[in-house]
Structure 1
Amino acid sequence: MKKSKLGKFIVLGALVGGALSLLDRGTREVVKERTDRALYYAKNPQILKEEIEQQVEKWSSIYEQASGEISSFAEQFNDLKELTPQVKQMVVEAKEAFIDQKE
């Protein structure tokens, strides 16, 4: 039975592609930045935890604020929906009163 070399060539292609991409200065700088940041957080996991907690609090606050505003808009919409037939009736009555007065 023949062995497939597909896996080996996929890994080899990934390595060659990665090495070729490092020929670009911008790519090298980005890789270096990200590596430095990963090493910093590996040495200081408490800082990473605090930054994640801050982001979670920030997004939770934004979510709560947006939820409150959406609820408020929904209430106003429902109030307007209930008020519309009443306003329509008032307009009809005013029109009829105006026509009656004109005659």
Structure 2
Amino acid sequence: MTRKNQFWKGMLFGAIAGGALSLLDKQTRSVMKENLQNATDQASYILRNPGEISKKVKGTAVKIKYTVEQVSEDINYIIGKVDELKELTPQVTDMLKDTKDAFSKSEENELFEDILGEDDKDLTRQ
């Protein structure tokens, strides 16, 4: 035999020995007994009711398919909105620059009016 096969055999025997040693604890034995009983009950139920299990599996598959379709639609919607934002961003930026320029010019006119005084306001508006 090769070393590889001996390694896996050693792993198997070590696992069996470790499992057997852990069963020396009373609480571990009782938990394992309950788990084994539950697994046996579930296996026998599945063997007695294969049609019901098949229906449940098909129902779950339909739910998963529906969920995947919904997620796909949601992702496509989000991608569309991101594309719209990419197109709108330059337009919004230009609008903000224009607004800033308009306010800056208004503030400059007010500054000139303050500097020139009340009598010379007509000069700044011409």
Distance 1:43 1:60 in 2: 28
Distance 1:84 1:77 in 2: 10
- TM-score w.r.t. length of structure 2: 0.64
Q: Higher relative contact order at CA 8 Å, sep ≥6: structure 1 or structure 2?
A: 2
Structure 2 residue 45 is the aligned partner of structure 1 residue 43: no
Distance 2:106 2:19 in 1: 88
Give the alignment partner of residue 70 of structure 1, picking from 72, 75, 92. 75
Relative distance call for 1:11 and 1:47 in structure 2 (3 A) is farther
Moved over 4 A (4+): none
Give how far 1:11 is off: 5.4
Distance 1:9 1:93 in 2: 75
Structure 2 residue 23 is the aligned partner of structure 1 residue 20: yes
Distance 2:70 2:11 in 1: 52
CA RMSD of aligned residues (A): 2.9
Give the alignment partner of residue 60 of structure 2, picking from 52, 55, 59. 55
Stretches of structure 1 that go unaligned for 5 or more consecutive residues are none
Give how far 1:96 is off: 1.2
Give how far 1:15 is off: 7.6
Percent identity of paired positions between Structure 1 and Structure 2 = 27
Q: Deviations over 1:52-93 (max 9, x none)?
A: 001111111111111111111111111111111110000001
Specify the alignment match of 1:86 in structure 2: 91
- Bigger radius of gyration: 2
- TM-score w.r.t. length of structure 1: 0.76
> After alignment, is 68-77 or 84-93 more displaced?
68-77
Stretches of structure 2 that go unaligned for 5 or more consecutive residues are 110-126
